[in-house]
Amino acid sequence: MQRRSVIKSAIVALGVVVSAGAFAQDKPIKIGVTGGPHAQIMEQVKKVAAKDGLNIQVVEFSDYIQPNAALAAGDLDANSYQHLPYLEAQIKDRGYKFTHVAFTVTFPMGVYSKKIKSLDQIKQGARVGVPNDPTNGGRGLLLLQAKGLIKLRPDAGLKATPLDIVENPKKIKIVELDAAQLPRSLDDLDAAAINGNYAESAGLSPTRDAIAMEGPKGPYANLIAIRTADKDKPWVAKLVKAYHSPEIKQYVQSTFKESVIAAW
């Protein structure tokens, strides 16, 4: 009788060890983000997803290139930082086998300056910064065109470059810089078109500090990207469910006001 009890206890103990081992091997889903609002929001998504049994590890990057490279290499399971025009350009240029599974938030691009209070004060030959990647650079130029500073070729589209400028009455000098560097370059520029997430990271608010800003409607909603081969895995649906939860929408609205807009 005592022997049976000992054997039973040993089996129970073994079961606990096996369960613990299985749990330890349950690797978290690694999601790449850029610093600032994307990272802040994903930390909240992590909490919501945990209630549904999804373990997320947030991996932060300081530029736009590495999150896609890391996803393609298998170092990430997903990323959440880019809009569709940028993703499509990356897929075309680099051959990535990616799929977007959900839209997340929109960051209105704004024009910022430490030297002028309005675009009317832009001087002849002013140096104006824009992001140096094709889609965000085009986005910056389109914003400058919308505000009347330049005119682009009609067929330039979302990937407009400085070579597409056909009218530039103030002879503005377009300075192309890495998007993350633009906020730190405002001392050396007369103005710069800066993505909302990098503006927020630098303590700039589109609604408070921008001297010009994109309209609320446009093609630049951000998204969650994954490898196409993973699109039917159960964790993908759980991730989307957590991100699109009422808790996250409320967090975005209360934390960022109109600087970041939920896109679902």
Count of the separate structural domains present in the chain: 2
Could you give the 3-state DSSP secondary structure of residue 210? coil
Return d(Cα 179, Cα 133) in angstroms, integer: 8
User: Tokens 């109109």, residue?
Assistant: 258
User: In the predicted model, is pLDDT for residue 120 greater than 50?
Assistant: yes
> What does the pLDDT read at residue 206?
85
Inter-CA distances, 166 with 87, 160, 216, 253, Å: 28, 11, 26, 40
Confidence category of residue 20, pLDDT binned at 50, 70, 90 = very low
What pLDDT, on the 0 to 100 scale, is given for residue 19?
39
Does 21 fall in a domain? Answer: no
3-state secondary structure 143-176: HHHHCCCCEECCCCHHHCCHHHEEECCCCCEEEE
Separation CA 186–CA 177 (nearest Å): 11
Q: Which domain holds residue 174?
A: 110-213
pLDDT value at 90 more than 80: yes
Percentage of the chain with pLDDT > 70? Answer: 90
Has residue 125 been placed in a domain?
yes
Count CB-CB contacts under 10 A for residue 14: 10
Q: Is there a single domain that holds both residue 101 and residue 114?
A: no
60, part of any domain: yes
Q: pLDDT for 131-182, tens place per residue?
A: 999 889 999 999 999 999 999 999 999 989 999 999 999 999 999 999 999 9
Q: Tell me if 238 sits within 8 A of 54, measured CB to CB.
A: yes
The model's pLDDT over 199-251, given as tens digits with 9 standing for 90+, comes to 988 999 888 899 999 976 778 999 999 999 999 999 999 999 999 999 999 99
- Residue 178 in tokens: 């890495």
Residues 127 and 195 in one domain: yes
Per-residue model confidence (pLDDT) at position 17: 40
> What is the reported pLDDT for 197?
84
64 shares its domain with 148: no
Looking at the structure, tell me whether residues 48 and 125 fall in a common domain.
no
**Comparison of pLDDT for 39 and 205, the residue scoring more:** 39
Report d(CA 107, CA 83) in Å as an integer. Answer: 10
Q: Same domain for 204 and 156? A: yes
Q: In this structure, what CATH number is given to the domain that contains residue 150? A: 3.40.190.10
pTM of the predicted model as reported, rounded to 2 decimal places: 0.74
Q: What is the pLDDT of residue 22?
A: 38
